[in-house]
Structure 1
Amino acid sequence: MRHFFEELNDILFLDIETASLEPNFDLLSERYQEEWLKKERHLYGNNEVIVPGSMFFEKAGIYAEFGKVICIGVGYFRFDKESETLTYRSKTFAETSEYDTLQAFKELLDKKPWTLCAHNGKEFDFPYLARRILINRIPLPEPLQLAGKKPWEVRHLDTLELWKFGDYKHYTRLELLATIFDIPTSKDGIDGSKVNESYYKHNDLQTIRTYCSKDVLVTAQIFLAFRGIPPELDFEIVNLDEEQA
């Protein structure tokens, strides 16, 4: 078990929150509007009930080509060999510009050969981050570089994939896993469907930061549960955002 705690030092748990590129469809450039309408028709067909462009605010944030990263939450464990104590440190990146948010995140990834872990990370968080980093003309950090790597060289963990046990038809929400393993919920403020509204209509980035950070902690606790770590395991939680405030 001690060896496992030492391995935890190299795992970076993360979660991202995203929003549409603009608060409404009309603010997009003409080229972007044309591309979104094509995307919309592909998703919903020629449904006359849907006003062209009306789904942009609700759905665009899901797609890296039409959305942007507004918050990245990270967390990692530190195991002290001498005292045999475990500490969990958390931090969020949520700058005014997406470029600054992604650049700060890249600087963290460049510090060591992290293994990245997220819930549904392989389908959403990791590719979304990689695409937005490139769109912002930032060099791709090594942990997100997949080209030329063999599958076992890619240091990505996904708690959803781990829970599937090869059943690729199965999807399990983070909240359901938290319920199963009796882990405190992260959904006591907002949920993912309310992020765009909180960001654009209420300018409430702090609530989004808190929600994102809680999701990361839940993911980390679920990862511990997958290794049979008892729920009563005690570890100190250090919020680096509060220390820097």
Structure 2
Amino acid sequence: MQALEIKIHNFRSIHDATIRLESLSLIAGANNAGKSNVIDAIRVFYGDLKWDESRDAPKVACSDVESWIEIEFMPTSDELDQLKAEYRSTENTFRVRNYISTGQGIKAKPGYYAYENGELSENLFYGAKNVGSGKIGQIVYIPAVSKIDENTKLSGPSALRDLVATVLNKVVAESSAYQDLTKAFGRFEGSIKKHTSDDGQSLELLENEVTDELASWDTSFTLGVQNIQPEEILKTLIKPQLVDLTHGGEVDQSQFGAGFQGSSQMRV
């Protein structure tokens, strides 16, 4: 699923803005031009940042009291098949608007609304829970001031981990190589448990010895060898590297300053 267009209405310094997106979109401008406000508006749409009336409401008088962020999405063919027909546009896209502030006397309640047959629906979007769970686009936000290893480590929470996990989970689900790996682990379990060391030790023997001790409890003991999961692949088998294209070889990430990760702050 790809985000195609973002509309922002009455959020901080932005009264009305429409931004068309490409596969890679850059926001450039002078200090205090509103770049961070655009990013934070999208974060509010996804629930990554909570609306704060004192911080996020416009300080300059507006034409109305509504505040909302709307995104148009292009789903894949599989995602389109799962989408309610009324939500689909003639271009096979769909739009979702998050009303974050409605004020007094406004009919719509805060929440996610989609367009039905080209008109903004008065009913809450049936896939609202999917927005926060990453099924309808996903946001990974990298603060401008931070250490690069905080954003690139795979052993714990990081922006890079979120990005790689999103791609890896999709790849694994369709990978014949991963299916072969699953079968290989099954063969490995049968072989490794029967293998006997030079001093006569084996996992199968250990299982039998423990089971004998538990016989009076009508209980048996086994050692299962689990197939490696995408989480373990991500945490222990994948290593992010920065390679110096001029001199060759890996470069210590700590040599880069905050500007390195600041060059790409968000992915939608």
The two structures have a TM-score, normalised by structure 2, of 0.19
The two structures have a TM-score, normalised by structure 1, of 0.21
- Structure number with greater Rg is 2
Structure of greater relative contact order (alpha carbons < 8 Å, 6+ residues apart): 1
